[in-house]
Chains A and B, each alone.
Chain A
Amino acid sequence: MTELWTTTPGGYLIVLAILLPLAGIILSFTLGGRSAERVALGSTPFGLALACAIALHVGRAGKPIVYVIGALEPPLGIALRADGISAIMLITTAVIVTAAALYARAKFATPDGIRESRSSLIFWIMLQSIWAALIIIFVSGDLFNLYVALELLTFAAVPLVCIDGRPETLVAALRYLLFALFGSICYLLGVALLYGAHGTLDIPLLAQRVQSTPVVWTAAALMTGGLLAKTALFPLHLWLPPAHANAPAAASAVLSSLVVKGSFFLTLRLWFYVLPGLSADQAAMVIGCLGSAAIIAGSVMALRQARLKLLIAYSTVAQIGYLFLVFPLATGAQSWSAMSWSACFMQILAHAFAKAAMFFSAGLLAEALGHDQIARLGGAARVLPLTFLTIALSGLSLMGLPPSGGFSAKWLMLQASIISGQWFWTLPILAGGLLAAGYVYRILAPALSDDRISLKSSPKRSQEVLALGLAMIAIALGFMPQTFSDILEIGRPIAAALP
C-alpha cells in the first residue's frame, strides 16, 4: 500500500501541469497588457501536451501516478495523484480552455493603441486561474488542498461573470459569489470535522480510517451539501442561470462545461474515494432523486425561456442532473457499477463539449443578429449555416441521439438502471431526452424556416469553426473505444462495506 504515498515515475508531470498555468498567471500579472493574452494562448498547447502525457503514463502503468511534495509522506505531507478520471478530466479541460482562449481572442484582445485594458487583462488571468484551480482539483489527494483549489475556482469564475460591468451582471456575480461562499463554508466545516476525528486529510489514508460514525456522516452531509450548492444541483441552482447567461460567450462556455464539473468531481472524490466504505444507499438515493428533479425541472424551464443563453443555461441545470444518477447506480462493486461510472464520465465529457459549442454559437448568434431572442431567430439558419450546424450537432448530443457522447452516456445509464433493478431512473433519463428534443427543436425549427432575416455583421469564420470543432468532438465521443472505460477504472477503489 505504501506505493500510494511515494512518488512514482512520471510524478513530476503532475507538478509541471500545475506549475504551468500558475507561472502563466504570475507572468501575466507582471508583464500585463497584451502579454497576458500571449502568455495564456502560448501556454495552452503545453498544457494539452502535459495532460496527454499524464494520461499516457497512467494508461501505460495501469495505476495512478503520484508525486509527494517535499518527499514528506502523508499525513505530514501532501500527495498529488493522477488516476484515470484525473487524466480524462485534464485532457478535457485543456481542450476546452484552449478552444475558449482562441475563441475569446476576438473579444478580449487588447485594442490597438491602448497599452492595457482592464477587461482583457482580467479575462486572461482569470481563465488561467480557472485552469490552474481545475488541475489542482483533479490531481490533489488532500481534502484541505482541495478546499483551497475550490475557492480559487470560485474566485476566478465570479469576475468572469461580471467582466463587462453591466449592473445585471454584477447582481448575477454577487449571487454566485455569496451562494458559493455558503457552499465553501459547509465544505470547510466538514473537512474540519474529518480532520478532528481522524487526524488526516489525505484521501487514501482517510478511506482506511473512516468508520460509519455520526461525525463522519455529519462531515459527509455538510461537505456534500456545500459541493451540491457549488454544482448548482436543483434546487440549489438559483445562481447558475443568471451567471451563465450573462457572462461573455467564451466565459459562459468555460463556466458551464468545466467549472461546475470541478465541484462535481470533488463530490465523486468524496463518496467514491474517501467514503467508499460507508453503506450509503439511502444517501445515494436522495442525491439520485435530486438529480432526477434537476433533469425534469431544468429541461422544462429551458423550454420556457425566451432568451437563447438562458435556455442553454437551464439546459446545464438539467444536464448536471444526469451526473448525479451515478451515485445510486455506481455504489458497490456490482457488475453495473463500472458501466455507470463510464456513463457518468461520458456525460461529463459530452456535456462539456456540446455545451461549450452551444455557448460559442449563442455568442456568435448574438453578435451577428444583435439579440438572442429565440422568437426572432426565424430563417437564421439560411444566413448562418455553420453556426446552426453546430447547434444541431451539439443538440443531438444533449438529446441523446446517436451517434454522440450524449447517446453513449444515456445508453449506458439506461442499461445500468435496468440491470441494477432501479428501473425508475429510466423515467427521468427518457423524459429528459424528450424535453431536450423539445428545447432544441424550439431553436432549430424557426431558424430553418423560410423566413428572411438580416445580419448586423457576419460572424468570424474562425470562431464558427472552433464551435463546430467542439460539437464534432461531442459527436465523436459516441465512437469511444472500450479503453475509455478501462482508463476510468484506474485507481478507483472498489467498495468493501464497513461494518
Chain B
Amino acid sequence: MTDLFPILLVASLGTPLAFLAACFVKGWRRQVLALQWLAPTPALATGLAGLTRAPLTYDLPVSGFTLRLDPPSALLLAGAALLWIIISAAIWRDRQPDNRWGLSWLLTMTGNLGVFIAGDLVSFYLLYALASIPAYGLFAFSDDGERKRAGAIYMAFTILGEALLLLAFAMLIAGEPHGSANIADVMAALPTSPWRDAILGLIIAGFGMKMGMIPFNGWMPLTYSAAPIPAAAVLSGAGVKAGVIGLLRFLPLGLPLEGWGDALVVMGFLCAFYGVAFGLVQQNTKVVLAYSSISQMGVIMAAFGVALVKGQAGAALEVGFYAANHLLVKAALFLTIGVLAIRGGRLSRATYILAALLALSLAGLPLTGGALAKIATKAQFAGGAEAVLATLSSIGTAMLMTHFLICLATSPSGAAQECPAGFVPLWPGIALGAILLPWAFYPAVGDISYAFEWGTLVDGLWPVALGVGLALILRRIDRFLPRVPVGDSIVLEEAAFGRLLGIGSSFKALDARLCQWSAACVSLLLITLALLAASL
C-alpha cells in the first residue's frame, strides 16, 4: 500500500488554497467563506498523524516548493488547525461577517497553517507573510481612530520584521554552497557560514517581533485590544506561533552556541518578567492577556536560549509542546472574556472555577495542561539560575492570571457584541479541552507518570499558590500602582517615528532644489566628471 501521508501533507495546504481559489467565483464566495471551517481539517489530520511519525520532507513538483513536517511542527499544526476549525465554525454559524473580513480570515488561516509545514525558505517567507499581513483586515478596516492606530502599528512591525527576515534568509541561502533553498540544507550550512552571527541576530530580531519581544512588544496589546475577540483568540493562539516555528526552524538547536544562547536566555526572561509587570497595571482583560502572551513568549525564548547553550536537539519538541499548550489556553482565555461578557452578571460558581483553572493552567497548576508544559521544558529549566528564574516566572504568571480573573468582573467595552453567542454553550467544552487536551498529546513528548509524582505536584503547586496570594495582596495597594498606557514603550516609539517623519520635509526641500534646471545641469556635469574620475 502506498503511503498516503504525503498526500495528506499536501492537502493541508492545498485545501485552504482551494477555498481561496473558489472565492474568485463571485457566486460561490459567500458560501465558501461560510464553509471555511472545513478548510483546516486535512491539516488537523496531518498534525495528528505526524505526531508519532518520522520527519517527512516532501518536494512539491513544478513549483520547487518543499513541505516539511516533524513532531514539533505537527503538534503546533494540529493545535492551530483545531483552533481555526472551532472558531471559524462558531463565527459563521451565528453571523455573516462581510466578505472583506471573511477573506482576511481565510488568508490568515492559510498562511498560519502553511507556515508550520513550509520546508524551504521561499515558501516559508511567503506563508509567513500571508499569516501576518492579511490579519490587518481582521481588526483595522474601521473608521475608529484607535483601531486605525493599532492597525498602522501592527503593519509597521510586521513589515519591519519581514524585512529583517528577508535579509536573514538571503544570507542563509547565500551560505549554502549548492544554492538549495531547503531549510534543512541551509541550516546544515549555517554553522560554517561566514554570516552566521548576522543571520542569528536577524532571525531572533525578526521572529522576536512576531513574539512581542521587547522593545518590539508594543503592537501586541494594541492589536489584541483592537481585534474582535474571536480574531484576538486566533492571533494570540495560532498567530504568534508563527514566530515560535520560526525560531524552531532557524535556530541551530543541537549545536552548542553559547553567546547567542545566553543572550536569548537573558532576553527571554526579561520579556517574561516585563510582561508580568506591565500586565499587572492594566485593567482591560484583553490587554492583560496580551501582556501575558509577551511574558509566555519570553519563557519560550528563554527555553530556546538554554537549549542553544546546552546543545539540546530534543528541545524542539519540548518547547513545541509548551507553545502548543499556550496556543490552546490563550485562545480559550480570550473566548472566556467574550462568553462572560455575553452572560453578564449571573455567573455560577462552576463557571468561575473553570475560568480559574484555565487561567492558572498557564501558570502550571498541577494536573492541568500547563503543568505538563512545565514538565516538558524541565530539561531546559533544570538547575542553576534558570530553574530559579523559571519558578519566579511561574509565580509571576500566577499573579498575572489572578489579576486577569479579578478584572474579568468588568468586561471590556464591546466584548459582548464582538463575540458570537454560539461560543456560550461551547465554552465549557473549549475550556475543558484546553486544560485536558495536552494530556492526550503528552505521550508523544515524554513520560506522563512523572506528572503524578508527589514531588512534581508540590513543585507545581506552591509557586501558583504563592502567586495567587501575592496578587490578592497587590490588589489592596492597587491604587498606588502607576498607570501605564496600553502598549507601554510604543508611545515613545511613536514619538520617535513622528520625529523621523520630520526628515521627510527636508527631503522635499532637497528634491525641490534638485529639480531646478541649474541644479539638474550641474548634477549631469558632476556625474559625467565622476565617471571620468573613476577611470583614474
Which residues of A does B touch, CB under 8 Å? 179, 182-183, 186, 212, 214, 217-218, 220-222, 224-225, 228-229, 234-238, 278, 280, 282-283, 285-287, 290, 297, 300-301, 303-304, 382, 399-403, 410-411, 414-415, 418-419, 426, 430, 433-434, 437, 441, 445, 448-451, 479
Q: Given A282-B534, A290-B527, A304-B507, check contact A235 B519 (CB 8 Å).
A: yes
Question: Is B531 touching A283 in the complex (CB atoms < 8 A)?
Answer: yes
Q: Does B155 contact A (CB under 8 A)?
A: yes
- 8 A Cβ contacts from B495-536 to A: 503-505, 507-508, 510-511, 514-517, 519-521, 523-525, 527-532, 534-535
Cβ–Cβ < 8 Å partners of B521 in chain A: 182
- Complex: how many Å from CA A236 to CA B524? 7
| Chain B min CB distance to A415 (Å) | 5
Q: Given A235-B520, A283-B534, A448-B141, check contact A426 B167 (CB 8 Å).
A: yes
Q: Given A238-B520, A401-B129, A433-B166, check contact A415 B173 (CB 8 Å).
A: yes
A434 to chain B: closest residue by CB? B163
3 nearest A-B pairs in the assembled complex, by CB-CB distance: A414-B170, A282-B534, A225-B528
Given contacts A224-B531, A401-B162, A448-B137, 19 further A-B contacts (CB under 8 A): A182-B521, A183-B524, A186-B528, A224-B528, A225-B527, A225-B528, A228-B527, A236-B527, A238-B514, A280-B534, A290-B527, A297-B507, A402-B122, A414-B167, A418-B174, A419-B174, A433-B163, A445-B152, A479-B63
Cβ–Cβ < 8 Å partners of B511 in chain A: 297, 301
Cβ–Cβ < 8 Å partners of B143 in chain A: 449-451
Question: Is A415 touching B507 in the complex (CB atoms < 8 A)?
Answer: no
| Chain B min CB distance to A117 (Å) | 34
B528 to chain A: closest residue by CB? A225
Cβ–Cβ < 8 Å partners of B129 in chain A: 401-402
Q: Which of B63, B137, B195, B507 contacts A418 (CB 8 A)?
A: B195
A339 to chain B: closest residue by CB? B179
- Complex: how many Å from CA A229 to CA B526? 12
A283 to chain B: closest residue by CB? B534
Listed by A's residue number, 13 A-B pairs whose Cβ atoms lie within 8 Å are: A221-B532, A238-B520, A278-B535, A286-B534, A300-B507, A401-B129, A402-B125, A415-B170, A418-B170, A430-B166, A434-B163, A448-B100, A449-B141
Question: Is B531 touching A220 in the complex (CB atoms < 8 A)?
Answer: yes
Question: Is B508 touching A301 in the complex (CB atoms < 8 A)?
Answer: yes
| Chain B min CB distance to A202 (Å) | 23
Question: Is A221 touching B520 in the complex (CB atoms < 8 A)?
Answer: no
Q: Does B244 contact A (CB under 8 A)?
A: no
Q: Please give the number of chain B residues whose Cβ is less than 8 angstroms from any Cβ of chain A in the complex.
A: 52
Question: Is A238 touching B517 in the complex (CB atoms < 8 A)?
Answer: yes
Q: Which of A290, A297, A437, A445 contacts B159 (CB 8 A)?
A: A437
| Chain A min CB distance to B533 (Å) | 8
- Complex: how many Å from CA A228 to CA B530? 13
Cβ–Cβ < 8 Å partners of B159 in chain A: 399, 433-434, 437
Cβ–Cβ < 8 Å partners of A228 in chain B: 524, 527
Q: Does B133 contact A (CB under 8 A)?
A: yes
- Complex: how many Å from CA A418 to CA B527? 27
Cβ–Cβ < 8 Å partners of B166 in chain A: 400, 410-411, 414, 430, 433
Interface of A is mostly: helix
Q: Which of B140, B141, B170, B524 contacts A182 (CB 8 A)?
A: B524
Question: Is A179 touching B141 in the complex (CB atoms < 8 A)?
Answer: no
Cβ–Cβ < 8 Å partners of A434 in chain B: 159-160, 163
- Complex: how many Å from CA A419 to CA B126? 23
Question: Is A218 touching B532 in the complex (CB atoms < 8 A)?
Answer: yes
| Chain A min CB distance to B124 (Å) | 10
Cβ–Cβ < 8 Å partners of B125 in chain A: 402
Cβ–Cβ < 8 Å partners of A382 in chain B: 100
- Complex: how many Å from CA A212 to CA B535? 8
A303 to chain B: closest residue by CB? B504
| Chain B min CB distance to A197 (Å) | 14
Cβ–Cβ < 8 Å partners of B507 in chain A: 297, 300-301, 304
Question: Is B170 touching A222 in the complex (CB atoms < 8 A)?
Answer: no
B160 to chain A: closest residue by CB? A434
Question: Is A238 touching B516 in the complex (CB atoms < 8 A)?
Answer: yes
Cβ–Cβ < 8 Å partners of B152 in chain A: 441, 445
- 8 A Cβ contacts from B99-136 to A: 100, 122, 125-126, 129, 133
Cβ–Cβ < 8 Å partners of A450 in chain B: 141-143
Q: Does B151 contact A (CB under 8 A)?
A: yes
Question: Is A304 touching B535 in the complex (CB atoms < 8 A)?
Answer: no
Chain B 143-163 interface 0/1 with A at a Cβ cutoff of 8 Å (1 = within): 100001001100100011011
| Chain A min CB distance to B238 (Å) | 21
Question: Is B535 touching A214 in the complex (CB atoms < 8 A)?
Answer: yes
- Complex: how many Å from CA A225 to CA B528? 5
Cβ–Cβ < 8 Å partners of A297 in chain B: 507, 510-511
| Chain A min CB distance to B183 (Å) | 15
- Complex: how many Å from CA A292 to CA B142? 36
Q: Given A217-B535, A301-B508, A415-B174, check contact A236 B520 (CB 8 Å).
A: yes
Q: Does B307 contact A (CB under 8 A)?
A: no
- Complex: how many Å from CA A222 to CA B535? 13
Cβ–Cβ < 8 Å partners of B516 in chain A: 238
Question: Is B133 touching A401 in the complex (CB atoms < 8 A)?
Answer: yes
Question: Is B531 touching A221 in the complex (CB atoms < 8 A)?
Answer: yes
| Chain B min CB distance to A120 (Å) | 32
B532 to chain A: closest residue by CB? A221
Question: Is A235 touching B523 in the complex (CB atoms < 8 A)?
Answer: yes
- Complex: how many Å from CA A236 to CA B522? 10
Q: Does B226 contact A (CB under 8 A)?
A: no
| Chain B min CB distance to A436 (Å) | 10
- Complex: how many Å from CA A73 to CA B159? 56
| Chain B min CB distance to A226 (Å) | 8
- Complex: how many Å from CA A265 to CA B529? 22
Q: Which of B133, B148, B504, B519 contacts A304 (CB 8 A)?
A: B504
Q: Does B171 contact A (CB under 8 A)?
A: yes
- Complex: how many Å from CA A303 to CA B501? 10
- Complex: how many Å from CA A95 to CA B521? 35
Question: Is A430 touching B167 in the complex (CB atoms < 8 A)?
Answer: yes
Q: Given A297-B511, A402-B122, A411-B122, check contact A283 B142 (CB 8 Å).
A: no
Q: Given A303-B504, A304-B504, A304-B508, check contact A449 B524 (CB 8 Å).
A: no
- Complex: how many Å from CA A235 to CA B521? 10
Question: Is A283 touching B160 in the complex (CB atoms < 8 A)?
Answer: no
Question: Is A283 touching B170 in the complex (CB atoms < 8 A)?
Answer: no
Cβ–Cβ < 8 Å partners of A418 in chain B: 170-171, 174, 195
Interface centre among B63, B155, B163, B195 (most CB of A within 10 A): B163
Cβ–Cβ < 8 Å partners of B160 in chain A: 434
Cβ–Cβ < 8 Å partners of A238 in chain B: 514-517, 519-520
B521 to chain A: closest residue by CB? A182
Cβ–Cβ < 8 Å partners of B525 in chain A: 225
Interface centre among A217, A234, A235, A301 (most CB of B within 10 A): A235
Cβ–Cβ < 8 Å partners of B505 in chain A: 304
Cβ–Cβ < 8 Å partners of B133 in chain A: 401
| Chain A min CB distance to B91 (Å) | 19
Q: Given A235-B523, A238-B515, A300-B504, check contact A221 B510 (CB 8 Å).
A: no
- Complex: how many Å from CA A479 to CA B503? 38
| Chain A min CB distance to B420 (Å) | 20
B173 to chain A: closest residue by CB? A415
Question: Is B167 touching A403 in the complex (CB atoms < 8 A)?
Answer: no
A217 to chain B: closest residue by CB? B535
Cβ–Cβ < 8 Å partners of B63 in chain A: 479
Cβ–Cβ < 8 Å partners of A229 in chain B: 524
Cβ–Cβ < 8 Å partners of B155 in chain A: 437, 441, 445
- Complex: how many Å from CA A77 to CA B279? 80
